[in-house]
Amino acid sequence: MAGMVDGKVALVTGAASGIGRASALALAREGARVVVSDIDVAGGEATGRLIAEQGGEAFFHRADVGEERDVAGLVAACLDTFGGLDCAHNNAGIAGGMGPLHEIELEAFEKTLRVNLTGVFLCMKHEIPVMAAAGAGAIVNSASGSGLIATPGLSPYCASKHGILGLTKTAAVENAKRGVRVNAVLPGSTRTPMLEASLAMGSEIEKMVRANQPGGRFGRPEEIAEAVVWLCSDRASFVSGESMLVDGGAVAR
């Protein structure tokens, strides 16, 4: 049987580890040729090798999503190598500055927004024209449960993820008649290097984060990737402007 994205060309940013790597692997497993991107060259190339080992086709292209020249070059590389771009998972992001809002340095706030929010804006700015010209395409942006509710101590991150939802909804409505669907996936606390770094700050932090999970466990990157693949596929053909929580019920509690 054909995979859910069989024959499509997919782009994944932040694909060197965590959710991005899981997404790239899942898209390849479901039949897509995958452009893997990250600022982490070693990690990105490793993701490409993992795809090849499972019988898929991929190549790595380094890009800083906060730099428009890099993003334009990334999309151009998709076209040059695979001849098109059918779906994209704009996933690159950082945790950013931590602490009470009034103690966050402006530099830390601006860096978080540059990667998390401006990065998504720039990716869509360059992806949408390519997809619209082909009359079809699907974009999935990585937001977070923190895009819906407050996250004390993570105001820059929270602001960036709220912003992603606004960009996602606006782009979905603007491009509905052009055949381009735009959605967001909102992971809950997921076992990624970013989460592990936060948990390493102390056992009390892990207890606090785990207590917010109704099921008592963290998500796995592969579980988030399944939602991404579905949203990228034609099975989600009437889904656009959606903010899909994949969080084990954390926000619903």
pLDDT, one tens digit per residue, over 18-39 is 999 999 999 999 999 999 999 9
Mean pLDDT of 65-79: 98
Residues classed as catalytic = 157
Q: What is the pTM of this model?
A: 0.94
- Chain mean pLDDT for the chain: 93
Structure token pair of residue 160: 């960036």
Distance in Å from the first CA to the final CA of the chain: 38
Residue 186 near residue 243 (C-beta atoms within 8 A): yes
Q: Determine the Cα–Cα distance for residues 107 and 27; give it in Å rounded to an integer.
A: 35
Q: Determine the Cα–Cα distance for residues 47 and 61; give it in Å rounded to an integer.
A: 11
pLDDT of residue 146: 93
Q: Determine the Cα–Cα distance for residues 37 and 39; give it in Å rounded to an integer.
A: 7
Mean pLDDT of 82-101: 95
- Can you list the alpha helix ranges (DSSP code H) found in 135-202? 155-174, 193-199
> Which domains, ranges and CATH numbers included, belong to the chain?
9-246 (3.40.50.720)
Q: Is the pLDDT of residue 208 over 70?
A: no
Q: Is the pLDDT of residue 204 over 70?
A: no
Q: Is the pLDDT of residue 139 over 80?
A: yes
Residue of 69, 73, 64 whose CA lies nearest to 116: 64
pLDDT of residue 210: 66
- pLDDT tens-digit profile of 150-196? 988 899 999 999 999 999 999 999 999 999 999 999 998 887 777 67
